[in-house]
Chain A
Amino acid sequence: MNDQNDIEKPTTVDLAAAFEESGVRDILQELDETMIGLAPVKQRIRETAALLLVDRARQQMGLSSETPTLHMSFTGNPGTGKTTVALKMADLLHRLGYVRKGHLVTVTRDDLVGQYIGHTAPKTKEVLKKAMGGVLFIDEAYYLYRPENERDYGQEAIEILLQVMENNRDDLVVIMAGYADRMDRFFNANPGFRSRMAHHIEFPDYTDAELDQIAAVMLNGLGYRFDQGGEKAMAEYIRLRRAQPHFANARSVRNALDRARLRQANRLFNEAKGPLDARALSTISEPDIRMSRVFQGGLDVDRKPVAGAA
């Protein structure tokens, strides 16, 4: 690190070359290709990448020496790709040289907060140490703060987090994720976090058309495909599922596909009389989707209260 001072500082900088060289283009391209929709997120990441690239160039020319604050918050509904984008972000920061290793450590409240007095600090520090040189991703960060229980140890974890986020800025980047409204309340109750977070990125819900596309891509990844009826049924499924509780965007789609595969296997097993070809084995058709509870009005209807129960 000390050698950098001895090297003669460049007087001009070629941003395009730096962009090519750092491999940022590959990541942005990968992001564009593998993630469907999420236009505002991609836009923000492109902006962030540009900022970091320019910052790095400034640093090389000796115009600034401060490490920029890189902690981020990702807000959005479940299944909108927060974790996947965090992984890409870790890779991006690694290629730009802002984190040394570029690994992602995903934790929730349970990994940070202990069960008894004196248990929290070592536990939190252990996690922080593991994340050093990489990115710490705290999913549903607002569970750390539980104002209704004054004996909650979450506060202790928050204090350590804040301290490390400030003092070890060169060593790790913290990304907090969760639902938008609860994150807002969390940040209002802990203003220290808001001021330490440089980038707030909102993940919008996927549109129906985007989810259709996601379903096709996921299925393709598993080596299956829809026939015409299946595709139509899936589109209908997505529109119905959205109106029902616990809808989790892409995650709901994935779960639906998993269950469809189960039903398809069952159907083939029961109906097949002769030998099956590859096409039959890898086609999801209409009945596999139509069997879902979603078409019968959702999850609540099939668990009627037991007659006679109090």
Chain B
Amino acid sequence: MRLTQGQFSFLPDLSDDDIRVQAQYAIDNGWAVSVEYTDDPHPRNTYWEMWGHPMFDNPDAAAVVFEVNECRKEHGGKYIRVIAFDASPGWESIRMSFIVNRPKDEPGFRVVRQEVDGRAIRYAIESYAVREPEGQRYA
């Protein structure tokens, strides 16, 4: 099951050139672009691992593509996303976020039903991938 989070996730995978153009748009707007990765695809997993610092003072998006490819070398089997922060309101707010790398095999999510308080049922979703310990997911 294809993970659909952030922008462009219903489109075919972005090429390096697509990534560059999108990142350049963010840079031209004055947003700080950074690269993050994770192996926990849960939609409420907001904070992914940072790949290096956010790139505050790079005028050209080639640097972003370069970092994405560096990250792919190390974490090619995980999810990698590019996010753009806008600091102009005085705090960091996300303006863009899109996945640029995904595992070969995405097993998807299952519904977990939990009986609580008599016969009431609580629903949760859980990724099949997270049943393996961290670092061993997505083989």
Contacts and interface: CB of A to CB of B under 8 A. Distances in A.
B66 A132 contact: yes
Contacts of A1: 17
A161 B32 CA distance: 25
Interface in B49-80: 52, 55, 57-63, 66-67
Interface in A122-178: 122, 128-130, 132-134, 168, 170-172
B58 A129 contact: yes
Interface string A93-108: 0000000110100000
A2 interface: yes
Contact of A171 (B52, B55, B60, B67): B60
A132 B17 contact: no
Interface string B103-128: 00000000000000000000000000
Contacts of A133: 59-63
A114 to B, nearest CB: 15
Contact of B63 (A122, A129, A170): A129
A14 B55 CA distance: 41
Decide if the interface of chain B is mainly helix, strand, loop or mixed: mixed
A76 B57 CA distance: 31
Contact of B60 (A2, A122, A132): A132
B50 to A, nearest CB: 14
A97 to B, nearest CB: 14
Contacts of B57: 130
Nearest to B17: A1
Interface centre among B58, B63, B67 (most CB of A within 10 A): B63
Interface extent on B, as a size class? 10 to 19
B68 to A, nearest CB: 12
Nearest to A100: B60
Nearest to B55: A129
A101 B60 CA distance: 7
Contact of A130 (B17, B52, B58, B61): B58
Nearest to B70: A125
Contact of B62 (A2, A122, A168): A168
A100 B55 CA distance: 18
A122 B70 CA distance: 12
A132 B17 CA distance: 15
Given A2-B17, A129-B66, A103 B55 contact: no
Contacts of B55: 129
A103 B58 contact: no
Contact of A168 (B17, B52, B59, B66): B66
A105 to B, nearest CB: 10
A102 to B, nearest CB: 10
A239 to B, nearest CB: 44
A130 B60 CA distance: 8
Given A1-B17, A2-B17, A101 B67 contact: no
Contacts of B66: 129, 132, 168, 171
A128 to B, nearest CB: 8
Contacts of B17: 1-2
Interface in A1-18: 1-2
A1 B61 CA distance: 14
Contact of B59 (A103, A122, A170): A103
B57 to A, nearest CB: 6
Nearest to B66: A129
25 contacts: A2-B17, A100-B62, A101-B59, A101-B60, A103-B59, A128-B63, A129-B55, A129-B58, A129-B66, A129-B67, A130-B57, A130-B59, A132-B58, A132-B60, A132-B63, A133-B59, A133-B60, A133-B61, A133-B62, A134-B59, A134-B60, A168-B62, A171-B60, A171-B62, A172-B62
Q: List the 9 shortest-distance A-B pairs measured between CB atoms, nearest first.
A: A133-B60, A129-B63, A171-B62, A132-B62, A132-B60, A132-B63, A101-B59, A101-B60, A129-B58
Given A122-B52, A130-B57, A171-B66, 8 more contacts: A132-B58, A132-B60, A132-B62, A133-B59, A133-B62, A134-B59, A134-B60, A170-B62
